[in-house]
Structure 1
Amino acid sequence: MSSWAAELLLSGIILLGASVQRMTGIGFALVAVPALVLLLGPPEGVALANCAAGAISMAGLLSGWREVRLSAMVPLAGAAACTVPLGAWVAAQLSEPVLLVSTGVVVSTASLMVIRGVRAPALHGAKGALAAGAASGFMNSSAGVGGPAVSLYAVNAGWTVREFVPNAQFYGVVVNAFSLTAKGLPQLTAPTWLLAAVGITAGGVIGNWLAERIPEQGARSLVLLLALAGGITTLSKGLWGL
């Protein structure tokens, strides 16, 4: 694949992920990380996912910050801050095939858990927020996929979609900022950064338009099926390279 074709593909992947996240509050990493990891390699792909997911979360938060539940978000973010460095360290120690396998397993398992709406007593209350935040921080910095743990916490807390979205956006800003602080920005060319920014912007606009026209449950189901397919593909490539 030529460099310009790869960069256009990257922009399209980011546009799709940004559209999904703008519609549902999470989903950028689930949809985009497998493809970005295959295209750029695990370190750069995950770091770019952290950048893009944080940016689209910030854009969504500008209109929904008043609905953020700080009582739940503070323990979630605090626990994530403690495990993000560990996730970054673990990712730095693993070879590319092992990272691909790990990312594929995490994405596929997380997708299946959210699809099944897993409920667990351990995810209730303050202890549940700490457990979900710790798991999310580790997964976000190591594999770029921190949203499912927070989504499972919200399911067990009985939050509605309307309650979940602004809180997920707030958390997305915080945990991705932590992850990038621990690992640094991805090393990309100026044209790649520009195309990524175009993808984020266009995806946000498209996602906002689609959110008013597509039933939320249908959009969420599509996101999870795409994520599951991407996770299985990434896992397969990693196993082939071992």
Structure 2
Amino acid sequence: MASEWGIVLVLGVIMVAGASVQRLAGIGFALVSVPALVLLLGPAEGVVLANCAAGAISAVGLAVTWRQVRLAAMVPLVAAAACTVPAGAWVAARLPEPVLLAGMGVLVSVAVALVMWGARVPALRGVKGAVAAGAASGFMNSSAGVGGPAVSLYAVNAGWTVREFVPNAQFYGVVVNVFSVTAKGVPQLPAPVWLLVAASIAAGSAIGAALARRVPERPARLVVLLLALAGGLTALGKGLWNL
């Protein structure tokens, strides 16, 4: 019983931390939470719970910013993601857990490194770039819960400001996470755990909103990315150790 309560407590802390950094930096819930959730719950349950939570957080933000969404730019991203989400779910369901864990670690670590570098890739510009980014993001979101970096790289190469990026990322987050959860199903968790997840997301969002008024955006994003990189490397190490 004590160990079960310990797991529940850690789960709440992960959710609060993920929601806080998402509200603080505009990105980061999945990057920060997925490595910890897959270590705690296993790859299958951890990723789909992250999909549920990230979709909920994006929906809350979108309720305020929906008028700023660029639907014309988002259609190719969303359409491409819809095509690759089933492939990601299929791969995630068939790989052995250590392989999946190591693969998630690699995806998170590489994605974070590219975002930190601010990679400029000509192929990620225009409609073709949106399709490529959406396809990569849909697969990564469904298989590893980390679809955000591909969309972030598209935004960097499209020259979007942070103010332009956030509402569109929230819209994309809602849609792609609905696709991902539909493809894999809702995680089988007790009702009290779901209540804890909801309360943790609400608390984390409130903390992040308070910090956002005091912490400059650039240092906040750097902290989020460094935490995500540490989590990705940890997941990679555990996966390789268990092979």
Give me the TM-score of the superposition, normalised by structure 1.
0.99
How big is the shift at 1:86? Answer: 0.3
CA contact (8 A) 1:108 1:231 kept: yes
Within 1, Cα distance between the matches of 2:7 and 2:142? 24
How big is the shift at 1:206? Answer: 1.1
Partner of 2:110: 109
Matches within 5 A, 1:78-227: 78-227=79-228
Within 2, Cα distance between the matches of 1:105 and 1:10? 23
How big is the shift at 1:24? Answer: 2.3
Q: Unpaired segments of 5 or more residues in structure 2?
A: none
Percent sequence identity is: 73
Within 2, Cα distance between the matches of 1:26 and 1:71? 22
How big is the shift at 1:21? Answer: 1.1
Amino acid at match of 1:233: T
CA contact (8 A) 1:29 1:144 kept: yes
- 1:72-113: CA deviations, max 9, x gaps? 111101100000000000111101100100000000000000
Within 2, Cα distance between the matches of 1:113 and 1:85? 25
CA contact (8 A) 1:23 1:207 kept: yes
Within 2, Cα distance between the matches of 1:87 and 1:199? 28
Matched residue of 2:163: which SS? helix
Within 2, Cα distance between the matches of 1:51 and 1:38? 17
Within 1, Cα distance between the matches of 2:200 and 2:74? 28
Within 2, Cα distance between the matches of 1:177 and 1:35? 22
How big is the shift at 1:191? Answer: 1.8
Within 2, Cα distance between the matches of 1:148 and 1:50? 15
Partner of 1:235: 236
Within 1, Cα distance between the matches of 2:89 and 2:123? 25
How big is the shift at 1:26? Answer: 1.7
Matched residue of 1:15: which SS? helix
Amino acid at match of 1:206: I
Partner of 1:25: 26
Within 2, Cα distance between the matches of 1:194 and 1:22? 20
How big is the shift at 1:25? Answer: 2.3
Q: Unpaired segments of 5 or more residues in structure 1?
A: none
Within 1, Cα distance between the matches of 2:212 and 2:168? 17
CA contact (8 A) 1:61 1:169 kept: yes
- 1:39-66: CA deviations, max 9, x gaps? 0000000000000000000001111001
Matched residue of 1:33: which SS? helix
Give me the TM-score of the superposition, normalised by structure 2.
0.98
CA contact (8 A) 1:105 1:231 kept: yes
Amino acid at match of 1:184: G
Within 1, Cα distance between the matches of 2:83 and 2:212? 34
- 1:101-151: CA deviations, max 9, x gaps? 000000000000000001100000111000000000000000000000000
- Count of residues in Structure 1 that have an aligned counterpart in Structure 2: 242
Amino acid at match of 2:151: V
